[in-house]
Structure 1
Amino acid sequence: MAEPLIKQYGADVPQAITSMIAAVYPAFDSAGFVAEVLDGFDTLALMARGQHIARALRRFLPENYPEALAILMASIEQPHGRDSSLTLGSFLYLPHTLFVANYGLDHFEASMAAQHTLTQRFSAEFSIRPFLEHHTQATLAQFRVWATDPSEHVRRLVSEGSRPRLPWAPRLRQFQADPTPVLDLLELLKDDPALYVRRSVANNLNDIGKDHPELLTRITQAWLQDASPEQAWIVNHALRSAVKRGEAGALKVLGYGQAAQLAVGQVQISPGQVVMGGAVQISFVLTNSQNQSQRVLVDLAVHYVKANGQTRAKVFKLTTLELAPGQTVQLSKKLSLAEMTTRKHYPGRHPVAVLLNGQAQPLGAFELVPGG
C-alpha cells in the first residue's frame, strides 16, 4: 500500500520554513518555533497542520503585520532543501497563504501582492476567499486585472478562488445566491490559452450549476455557438455533474435531449455475489431497433450501500454512440470493490442501471458480502 501523502508533510516542513526565515531574519527564534509547531503536530490532518504553522508564525514573527509579511515573503526566495519532486512539495507554502488569510484582511494591498506571488508557488485559492467575503468589490476589481496577468497561475486564481463550492474551503454563499460577478470573470477567461485555466473555468461553472441548473444550461448553450474546440471542451467538462444527475437541460445542450429508443439485453453481472475487495464485471448489449440513427450517451449507475443501509448512486461514464438502424453494440465495465480513501464499501444489495441519455434502465444487482 502506498504511503499516505501526509507523511510528506512532517517535521521537515517547519524546519525548512525556519531555516528560510532565519536566513533573512536572524532574530527569529528557530528552536522555539520548531518546538511549538511540533507539539501535537502528528495528530493533525493536512490543512490543520498548515493552520497550526501559520498561528506559530504569527507568534514568532514581529507583531506588526506588514513587517512580518515582508520577512515571510523575503524568506520564500531562500533554499529550503526539500525534495522538489514530492507530490506535496508546493504545500510547503500552505502556511504562508494561511498567514495572509488569517491576519492580512486589514492590509489589503500588501496581502494582494503577497498572494499574487504565493499563488505562483502554491495556489492562493484558499487564502483569497476571506478577501472576497470582506472586501468583495475590491477583490473582484483585482481579479479583473489578474484575468490578463502573464502568469497562468495568477489567471487560474481568478477562477479557482471564486468557485462557490471550492473543495476543502468554506463556500462563498453570496456567489451561490448570485453568481453574476463570477460569470463576468469567467467570460474573461473562457478563451484562455492554458488548459490549466480553462479546466478551472469548467470546474467553476460546474459549481454554479449545482445551485443554478437553468443558468448553467443558458450559459453553456451560448458558449457553444461557434465555439472553438477549446471552448467546447469547457462546456463538456462543466456539464459533467449535470449530465450525471440526468438534467434535461444539460443533456439537450450536448445533443442528447431525445429519449433513447434502444433495446437492452444479454445482461450479465458476474459474479452475482462479490466478496469485499473483489471485482464485478457488468456487461450488456444495446440494439437500435428503430429505422433511424440514434445518438446516445451511455453511463452506468451503481447504487452503493451506505453506512446507514440506504443506497446512493454513483455514475460512471461509459461512452457516446451513434447507432445506425439495427446496429448492436456490447458494452462492459469492470468494477473494483477494493477499499479506497474516497469510498468505503458496505455489505448488501447493490442495484445497477444503465443511463441512456440520462434515463435509467435497471440491469439487475449484485450482493456484496464480507470477506473471510
Structure 2
Amino acid sequence: LLRKHLPQNYRQATQILLESLPRPADPSLSDGDFGDFIYAPFNEFVAKYGCNKDDLEFSLDALYQMTQRFSAEDAIRYFINAYPDQTLARIHQWKSDSHYHVRRLCSEGLRPRLPWAQKINFPIEAALPVLDELFADSTRFVTRSVANHINDISKSNPELAVQSLGRWKKSKRQNPEEMDFIIRHGLRGLVKQGHPDAMKMLGYAPSHSIKASSFKATGKVHRGSALEFSFKVTAPEDCRILIDYVIYFRNKAGDLNKGKVFKLKKLALKKGDSMELRKRHMLHSQMTTRTIYPGQHLLELQINGVSAGKKKFEVL
C-alpha cells in the first residue's frame, strides 16, 4: 500500500515517510519496548526498495531514524546479508549512539537466531566487538538484547558464550547487579542443559555427591490431572543448589521426546542440611503447545545440571 500511494522514486517516497515520523522514543528511559508498531512497514519499505548499492547509505540513514520509533531489527538484516562490510561499519558507528534504540539495534540486528526475522549469513564471532561495547550499556533494553544474543550464540558455540561472559565480568565495566542479569539471562539455555561451565559461572558447581533421596512419583496419572512427586535433597557441604525437573513426553509414534526442562527450586544449604520438596505438574488434556498421549512417560530430577534420579509414570 505504501508503494501504491507514494511517489515511485524511492528516495522521494522515503523522505515523505521520514517527514511523517513522530518524535523519537524518549532517549532517557532505562528500558522500553519495540516502539510504535504502526511504523513497522516503514522499515520494511526501506528493506524492500532501498537495499541496493546506489541507495545503500541513504537507506541506512533512513533506518537510523526509523529505528528510534520502531525497531528496524528485521530490516537491517537484509542489508547485513547484501552488504555486510558497509553495514557492519555503520553498526560500529551506531553502537555508541546517544539513543538506546539505536544501540539495541546493533545487537538485535546481528543476533544469529532472531525470532520471526530474516536469517543472516554472518559469522557469530564477527558480532563480538559490538557486544564487547554494548554489554556495559546503562540501559536494560540494550543489555537484555546482549543477553539474548549470547543465548543465541550458546546454541551453536557454548564455549564462546561462556568465555565472553567471563571476560566481561572480569573487566568490571558493568555494575555487578546488571552483569549478573546478563549472565543469568544469557546462560539460561545452557543451564537447562546442565552445561558444567555455565553452572559454575552461576555458582552452582556440578556435583554427583548432591543426592535426591526418598524420590517418589505418582505411578499412574489421568490426563487433565497432576503428576505429583516428592524427594529430599541433602547438602554434602555448604553449597548453592539449583533443582530442575525434566519430563520426557511420549509422542504420537510412541517414542519419548528429548525432554522438556522445568524450573523447580533454588536453594542455599549448609553442610548436612536437608530439605523436602513436593511438586504438582498439571498434565492438561488440551494444550496448544503439546498433546499429552497415553502411555509411559519419564520424569527426571536434575540438580546443578546433574541427573539425580528418574521415575517412570503412566498417563491414562
Question: Shorter-chain TM-score: which interval?
Answer: 0.7 to 0.9
| 2:159 matched residue in structure 1 | 214
Query: Is contact 1:260–1:296 with CA below 8 Å preserved after alignment?
Result: no
| 1:318 matched residue in structure 2 | 264
Match of 2:295 among 321, 333, 348: 348
Query: Is contact 2:78–2:118 with CA below 8 Å preserved after alignment?
Result: no
Query: Is contact 1:271–1:281 with CA below 8 Å preserved after alignment?
Result: no
| 2:27 matched residue in structure 1 | none
Question: Following TM superposition, by how much is the alpha carbon of 1:221 offset from its aligned partner in structure 2, in angstroms?
Answer: 1.9
| 1:264 matched residue in structure 2 | 212
Is 1:97 aligned to residue 38 of structure 2? no
| Percent of paired sites with the same residue | 38
In 2, the alpha carbon distance for the partners of 1:172 and 1:64 equals: 28
Question: Following TM superposition, by how much is the alpha carbon of 1:197 offset from its aligned partner in structure 2, in angstroms?
Answer: 0.8
Query: Is contact 1:337–1:345 with CA below 8 Å preserved after alignment?
Result: yes
| 1:191 matched residue in structure 2 | 136
**Cα distance change of structure 1 residues 334 and 116 upon mapping to structure 2, 3 Å threshold:** farther
| 2:7 matched residue in structure 1 | 62
Q: What SS is found at the alignment partner of 1:128? A: helix
| 2:29 matched residue in structure 1 | none
In 2, the alpha carbon distance for the partners of 1:67 and 1:341 equals: 46
| 2:105 matched residue in structure 1 | 157
In 2, the alpha carbon distance for the partners of 1:66 and 1:324 equals: 67
Deviations 1:15-72 (A, max 9, x none): xxxxxxxxxxxxxxxxxxxxxxxxxxxxxxxxxxxxxxxxx32244222111121223
Higher relative contact order (CA 8 A, sep 6+): 2
Q: Which runs of 5+ in 2 are unaligned?
A: 24-32
Question: Following TM superposition, by how much is the alpha carbon of 1:270 offset from its aligned partner in structure 2, in angstroms?
Answer: 4.5
Is 1:238 aligned to residue 186 of structure 2? yes
Deviations 1:121-162 (A, max 9, x none): 322111110111111122112112221222211111111111
Q: What SS is found at the alignment partner of 1:193? A: coil
Amino acid at match of 2:2: L
In 2, the alpha carbon distance for the partners of 1:243 and 1:197 equals: 22
Deviations 1:72-93 (A, max 9, x none): 3333449xxxxxxxx9993322
Query: Is contact 1:294–1:324 with CA below 8 Å preserved after alignment?
Result: yes
In 2, the alpha carbon distance for the partners of 1:353 and 1:125 equals: 39
Match of 2:80 among 127, 132, 136: 132
In 2, the alpha carbon distance for the partners of 1:215 and 1:88 equals: 28
Is 1:201 aligned to residue 149 of structure 2? no
Instruction: Please show how residues 19-168 of structure 1 align to structure 2 within 5 Å.
Output: 56-77=1-22, 90-106=36-52, 107-168=55-116
Amino acid at match of 2:7: P
In 2, the alpha carbon distance for the partners of 1:212 and 1:120 equals: 32
Q: TM-score with structure 2 length normalisation?
A: 0.85
| 1:302 matched residue in structure 2 | 247
Is 1:365 aligned to residue 312 of structure 2? yes
| 1:3 matched residue in structure 2 | none
Amino acid at match of 1:253: M
Question: Following TM superposition, by how much is the alpha carbon of 1:337 offset from its aligned partner in structure 2, in angstroms?
Answer: 3.2
In 2, the alpha carbon distance for the partners of 1:226 and 1:331 equals: 39
| 2:229 matched residue in structure 1 | 282
| 1:249 matched residue in structure 2 | 197
Question: Following TM superposition, by how much is the alpha carbon of 1:298 offset from its aligned partner in structure 2, in angstroms?
Answer: 1.5
**Cα distance change of structure 1 residues 139 and 343 upon mapping to structure 2, 3 Å threshold:** farther
Amino acid at match of 2:250: V
Supply the RMSD in Å over aligned alpha carbons: 2.5
In 2, the alpha carbon distance for the partners of 1:327 and 1:336 equals: 30
Q: What SS is found at the alignment partner of 2:137? A: coil
For this pair of structures, how many residues does the alignment match? Answer: 300
**Cα distance change of structure 1 residues 222 and 130 upon mapping to structure 2, 3 Å threshold:** same
Q: Which runs of 5+ in 1 are unaligned?
A: 1-55, 79-86
Query: Is contact 2:77–2:110 with CA below 8 Å preserved after alignment?
Result: yes
In 2, the alpha carbon distance for the partners of 1:90 and 1:280 equals: 43
Q: What SS is found at the alignment partner of 1:211? A: coil
Deviations 1:328-353 (A, max 9, x none): 11223332334444444444333111
In 2, the alpha carbon distance for the partners of 1:90 and 1:342 equals: 29
**Cα distance change of structure 1 residues 77 and 312 upon mapping to structure 2, 3 Å threshold:** same
**Cα distance change of structure 1 residues 263 and 151 upon mapping to structure 2, 3 Å threshold:** same
Query: Is contact 1:349–1:368 with CA below 8 Å preserved after alignment?
Result: yes
Question: Following TM superposition, by how much is the alpha carbon of 1:166 offset from its aligned partner in structure 2, in angstroms?
Answer: 0.6
Query: Is contact 1:303–1:350 with CA below 8 Å preserved after alignment?
Result: yes
**Cα distance change of structure 1 residues 294 and 108 upon mapping to structure 2, 3 Å threshold:** same
Amino acid at match of 2:69: R
In 1, the alpha carbon distance for the partners of 2:171 and 2:297 equals: 43
Q: TM-score with structure 1 length normalisation?
A: 0.73
Question: Following TM superposition, by how much is the alpha carbon of 1:242 offset from its aligned partner in structure 2, in angstroms?
Answer: 1.0
